Structure 1
């Protein structure tokens, strides 16, 4: 699928990972894709949001406000989540150490039939973010484009509609359908 992405769209996907890392989030969500789109304010589709007052800094503030600074126990405590109580409750049901990461097995040096299979690599994208990538392809096909551009990614965020990216757009007071029409116009 990524072979259809324009260079800027590939930059957005790569930048989404950087956005997640900067915010100390463990995975890439729709909000990180939105932030990465807004990091290209010169793109006509991103300019639709920027011209409406939703720039990268404003969106990043909204994400920080909604999610906090990542895996920070103090931020969770600030909204009333006691990680100690959560761990205690989970361990009372599933057993001690249920939330601990599994021990890494040493690399197998066996040959032939006894060789261990490599572990499957988990996608860094959340399910809604993967859905956005899929929907960007569908938007491209619907609009009869031969590629997936930044605007198609933004349309994917809007079409998915449930993720934090769409919520940040709506929370800024923007009408998703009006944004959709404006983005489609930039895509020709």
Structure 2
């Protein structure tokens, strides 16, 4: 008896977790860019690699750098902020996890990480422009969380308000641009 070929089912995620579920029905059709979604997925993976119980702003920052092709990632690298430096700073700031701890497949977001995502969403809505919420929105959301590990790591590696202002000029654009 011949078996039927199986059909593959793929789920495409157009949104990232939000603390305010009513945002989804705002009428505005803002969605996350593919690069932002990939950055988020890579952030979860980085949190798991470090065996952390949550996905924090530091993991979001690492996820941006792992994705690597976005304007935000290129901007960070052009300013000397690399994945290895961020990983080292993360371990220095937060410490190493228990060697025998197994992080969940999708580590839940910390409160600062959730606020960073919500900030990015809100900035896109405030801009009134159509289009996607980009990785640049996400990076600036991390920077907006002053007490978060991600902000502290960025600051220790030389990112400051001037760099955030420079990057914000390109918030609604996620095109290939080289920074010198």
Larger Rg: 1
TM-score, scaled relative to structure 2: 0.70
Higher helix share: 1
Unaligned runs of 5+ in 2: 1-14, 17-29, 101-105, 174-180
Misfit runs of 4+, over 6 Å: none
How many residues of Structure 1 are paired with residues of Structure 2 in the alignment?
Answer: 139
For the 8 Å contact 2:44–2:107, the answer to whether it is kept is no
Q: CA deviation at 1:27?
A: 0.7
Unaligned runs of 5+ in 1: 74-121
Q: CA deviation at 1:38?
A: 1.2
Matches within 5 A, 1:146-185: 146-175=131-160, 177-185=161-169
Q: Which whole-Å deviations, capped at 9, do the CAs of 1:54-81 have from their partners, x for residues lacking one? A: 11111111101112221359xxxxxxxx
Q: CA deviation at 1:41?
A: 2.8
TM-score, scaled relative to structure 1: 0.67
Matches within 5 A, 1:38-187: 38-72=65-99, 124-145=108-129, 146-175=131-160, 177-187=161-171
Structure 2 distance, partners of 1:154, 1:142, is 17
Report which structure shows greater RCO (CA 8 Å, sep ≥6). Answer: 1
Q: Which whole-Å deviations, capped at 9, do the CAs of 1:131-161 have from their partners, x for residues lacking one? A: 1110111122233343211000001001122
RMSD across aligned C-alpha pairs, in angstroms? Answer: 2.0
